[in-house]
Amino acid sequence: MRQPLSPPTRSHRPLALSSHSRSSWTRCALWMWLAVAACAERPERAIADAEALTFESRPGEALKRYEDALLMLAKQTGPRNDPLLLKALMGAGNVSYLDLQRPNQALGYFQTTLQLFPRAEEAVEARLTLAEIHGALGDDQSAIAQLLRLCQDFPDHPESDRHQLLLARGYLTQGNYEQAIVEAQLLGQRSPQSPFAVEAMMLRGSALGLLQRPEAAIEIYAALIERWPDAALAHQARYEWGKLLIGLKRDEEAEAILVEALKGHPQPKMIQRLLAGIRERLMNRRAASLNESSRGR
């Protein structure tokens, strides 16, 4: 009688691979690892690419790489990545504003920078650029707000005197002459030896003239010239002083001041026209005075 067949048994011995098969498997695994590594791009690489593209004057592509970095960093939050996030935001803002001429897009990047990193060193540049953009867009109030916050947040910054002067200029541009005088005077009191102090005093004179206070403006210009007689702005102060004297109908004094201004003013023809007008008026007055004297004899 035939014996039943026993069920087939599975061998438990490991399958032996030839040396060729092992080599092929190793190469395949290596390529798979490289593919995964390539897909897992790092934000540092994207930022480096963006910087290189900016240097090569390819701003559109640079902005795209900055945006790639920002997308990656949005998924990798944490203090360790803050420097990269800050660099990507500032880079995207600068490329948008300076290279692509897209101020409204740049506003978003710089505002985000200030929301996330209000006390970072880059916040100074961000606020200055925001003030510049707002000013270019005709929003003087927002520009002033940025400069005011900058002065408040960074009072001891090495460029704080320049920031204070920019704030005073902002108020002058806005037409808030009284506040422009206050801010300029604050700079002069805080840093009397600052290279920006002479410009602050010049700004005070301009604001007083615009407030229809010529005598007070003349006092400021005279003080500026006495304190900084060789400064480039001293010639501009003499020019402004001379114009105020003309408005006060004090032509003789105006002539003397403008002759001094002519020695170093960068636009001598402008002063020469004023002097010609003054001398014509003085000559006409003298002629009229002689006629009066002749009729009185």
Chain segment 116-166, per-residue pLDDT in tens: 999 999 999 999 999 999 999 999 999 999 999 999 999 999 999 999 999
Structure-token pair, residue 98: 């300076």
pLDDT, mean of residues 29-35: 43
pLDDT band per the 50, 70, 90 thresholds, residue 288: confident
What pLDDT shows up at residue 179? 98
Inform me whether the pLDDT recorded for 35 exceeds 50.
no
* CA gap 112, 114 in Å, rounded: 5
pLDDT, mean of residues 202-211: 98
121: Cα separation from own chain's centroid: 14
What pLDDT shows up at residue 204? 98
pLDDT band per the 50, 70, 90 thresholds, residue 286: confident
| DSSP track, 62-91 | HHHHHHHHHHHHHTS-SGGGHHHHHHHHHH
* CA gap 185, 277 in Å, rounded: 35
In this structure, which long-range contacts are made by residues 273-278, counting pairs with CB atoms below 8 Å and at least 24 apart in sequence?
A: 274/242, 274/243, 274/246, 277/246, 278/246, 278/251, 278/254
pLDDT, mean of residues 11-23: 50
* CA gap 188, 172 in Å, rounded: 16
**8: Cα within 13 Å, side-chain hemisphere:** 2
What pLDDT shows up at residue 79? 87
pLDDT band per the 50, 70, 90 thresholds, residue 30: very low
pLDDT band per the 50, 70, 90 thresholds, residue 105: very high
Residue 146 near residue 118 (C-beta atoms within 8 A): no
* CA gap 65, 74 in Å, rounded: 14
Tell me how far CA of residue 70 lies from CA of 63, 66, 74, 84, 297, in angstroms. Answer: 10, 6, 6, 9, 92
**Which one is predicted more confidently, 152 or 285?**
152
Inform me whether the pLDDT recorded for 18 exceeds 70.
no
pLDDT, mean of residues 176-203: 96
Q: What is the mean pLDDT of the chain?
A: 88
Report the predicted TM-score, pTM, of the whole model to 2 decimal places.
0.80
DSSP state of 120: S
Which domains can be identified in the chain, with CATH numbers? 42-117 (1.25.40.10), 118-212 (1.25.40.10), 214-297 (1.25.40)
pLDDT, mean of residues 212-240: 96
> How buried is residue 54: exposed, middle or buried, by Cβ count under 10 Å (0-12/13-18/19+)?
buried
Among candidate residues 168, 81, 82, 169, the one with its CA nearest the CA of residue 122 = 82
